[in-house]
Structure 1
């Protein structure tokens, strides 16, 4: 399970540091897994390594700052397949608004497959959590 946790951490490290080469090493190759899939909140489903890597390149080129604090992380391993579920507490900033930081919460399932190179990401599915707004009548 430790190696799965490390592979999962590398995925988030790649995003936070804008390291597209690391992101490429995190994801499995097409011949290792059928139908690589990536679902990010508000995006259409991405299928295949080329489409997924192109999308991450765009994210990395256009998000100047992003940080993930993972909570409620659970790892399950069955043979050559591993599943990581967690809550992503995300902080982002924008270039055109210095000092502005936005936050959000996302629940995520990451599936990994054991390959000769180690654990590699097969599927990333992230869904936003709708946070309750404070009701002014409750005050």
Structure 2
């Protein structure tokens, strides 16, 4: 049973790559609803933000991104992506260039991330 109102991350027929693009667009726009639409509707979804703890479940993940967005603008762009794909799973090992705007000005760093996408009844998430 869905925990939150269902929202489409990408159009029907979208690929894991399309959902990843939608995720990064939502991240840069600080669009929390669109960002959360990229996640599977599952109690066991997991997120580890840079420097943060392992966060499990949509409410906790949403709260973590709310805190992150409250610190200022975030620009994250995948620069290098390595993929392992099957019919129902796509694992992307990504090197991201991340720029955040703090009160002291912009700060840039490189982050290694692993994004895992599953093909669900609602499409890729």
TM-score range, shorter chain: 0.7 to 0.9
Tell me if the contact between 1:39 and 1:46 (Cα under 8 Å) persists in the aligned partners: yes
RMSD: 1.5
Q: Name which of structure 1's ranges 73-82 and 102-111 shifts more when overlaid on structure 2.
A: 73-82
Match of 1:70 in 2: 78
Match of 2:90 in 1: 82
Which of residues 100, 106, 109 in structure 2 aligns to 1:101?
Answer: 106
- State how far apart, in whole Å, the 2-side matches of 1:77 and 1:17 are: 28
Which of residues 49, 55, 60 in structure 2 aligns to 1:40?
Answer: 49
Tell me if the contact between 1:5 and 1:75 (Cα under 8 Å) persists in the aligned partners: no
The higher radius of gyration belongs to: 1
Offset of residue 65 of structure 1: 1.6
- State how far apart, in whole Å, the 2-side matches of 1:49 and 1:66 are: 20
Normalized against structure 1, the TM-score is what?
0.74
Which of residues 92, 95, 100 in structure 1 aligns to 2:100?
Answer: 92
SS at match of 1:35: coil
Equivalent residue runs for 1:42-61 within 5 Å: 42-60=51-69
Offset of residue 49 of structure 1: 1.3
Offset of residue 43 of structure 1: 0.8
Normalized against structure 2, the TM-score is what?
0.81
Tell me how many residue pairs correspond in the alignment.
112
SS at match of 2:99: strand
- State how far apart, in whole Å, the 2-side matches of 1:49 and 1:69 are: 23
